[in-house]
Amino acid sequence: MSSAKRRSGLRIGKLVVIGVGLIGGSFSLALKKAGVVKRVAGVGRTKKNLDAAMRLGVIDEAHRDAATAVRNADLVLIGTPVGQMPEVMAEIAPALGPATVVTDGGSTKQNVIAYARRLLNAHFGRFVPSHPIAGTEHSGAAAAFPELYRDRNVIIVPQPETTPAAARLVRAAWEACGARVITLDARQHDQIFAAVSHLPHVVAFALVSMLAKRSDARTLLGFSGGGLHDTVRIAGSSPEMWRDICVANRDALLELLDDYTDELELARGAIENADGEALTDMFERARTARSRWLLKKRA
């Protein structure tokens, strides 16, 4: 018996993962590895990805139809891009059993909660919004691996209607994946992740996109070093997923984008005026904040 099973007594007879990508696939693999799930059904849009998921043992059965798949499920994880969640929720709502718990892996929470409140109807009390702070720039079932969530934070956002039993199950499942579970308010969540995740993705996508538009892009990028590579690693992330996140978290993101362009404008002015003091100020502030709050955390 695994230690996760011993600790929580967690046993999931049937898990359904809707969207068998990096997030959903890794959730399945982690729970399988922890020995707390009996059977995993995967739901996907493309035969190719579902075939890969079956071949790699990420799922035990493959479905194209979510409503069929969720019958008799103990736990359902919606692991699609957030833009597809309303459709998925509308599809599964009539088929959900009275004890089935639903969670999601979406990077924005206010909009997902609004969808669920509207579309899951009576099942809303068994919906536990969650957001695992984990990912790589790869996507698809083949990118999934059981350690993705190990020592990572997972934010859960229980609502007033959420039943304690549902929240307990979802918390125990993420903990069985090796994650630390933190509870946040939905609005606070969206503001925090607009700053530390959504904005950095837009910054990186825009940087490579701008360089790629140039006629000398190939030559330029051929001279790049490790600095650019790391800076734009996340520009390899799923365009569809990030399109949905940007639109879903629009208000918080726009405010931060404005703050960021203001900061670039400050840098621009300092460079134009050869104002070394202003540049040193900005660069020192960045270096200090990084070493104080980003590096320490990682150690």
Print the binding letters for residues 19-58 with its own copies: x by CB under 8 A, - otherwise: ----------------------------------------
Q: Which one among 33, 38, 117, 243 touches its own copies, defined by CB under 8 A?
A: 243
Q: Between residue 62 and residue 91, which ones bind its own copies under the rule CB under 8 A? A: 83
**Closest distance of CB 272 from its own copies, Å:** 6
Q: Between residue 139 and residue 168, which ones bind its own copies under the rule CB under 8 A? A: 152-153, 155
Q: Which is nearer to its own copies, 122 or 274 (CB)?
A: 274
Q: Is 247 in the site for its own copies (CB under 8 A)?
A: yes
Q: Secondary structure of the chain in the HEC alphabet?
A: CCHHHHHHCCCEEEEEEECCCHHHHHHHHHHHHCCCEEEEEEECCCHHHHHHHHHCCCCCEEECCHHHHCCCCCEEEECCCHHHHHHHHHHHHHHCCCCCEEEECCCCCHHHHHHHHHHCHHHHHHEECEEECCCCCCCCHHHCCCCCCCCCEEEECCCCCCCHHHHHHHHHHHHHCCCEEEECCHHHHHHHHHHHHHHHHHHHHHHHHHHHHCCCHHHHHHCCCHHHHHHCHHHHCCHHHHHHHHHHCHHHHHHHHHHHHHHHHHHHHHHHCCCHHHHHHHHHHHHHHHHHHHHHHHC
Q: Between residue 190 and residue 219, which ones bind its own copies under the rule CB under 8 A? A: 192-193, 195-197, 199-214, 217-219
Number of chain residues interacting with its own copies (CB under 8 A): 94
**Closest distance of CB 278 from its own copies, Å:** 9
Q: Which is nearer to its own copies, 51 or 262 (CB)?
A: 262
Q: Which stretch binds its own copies (CB under 8 A): 55-63, 89-97, 98-106, 231-239?
A: 231-239
Q: Which stretch binds its own copies (CB under 8 A): 54-62, 91-99, 168-176, 227-235?
A: 227-235
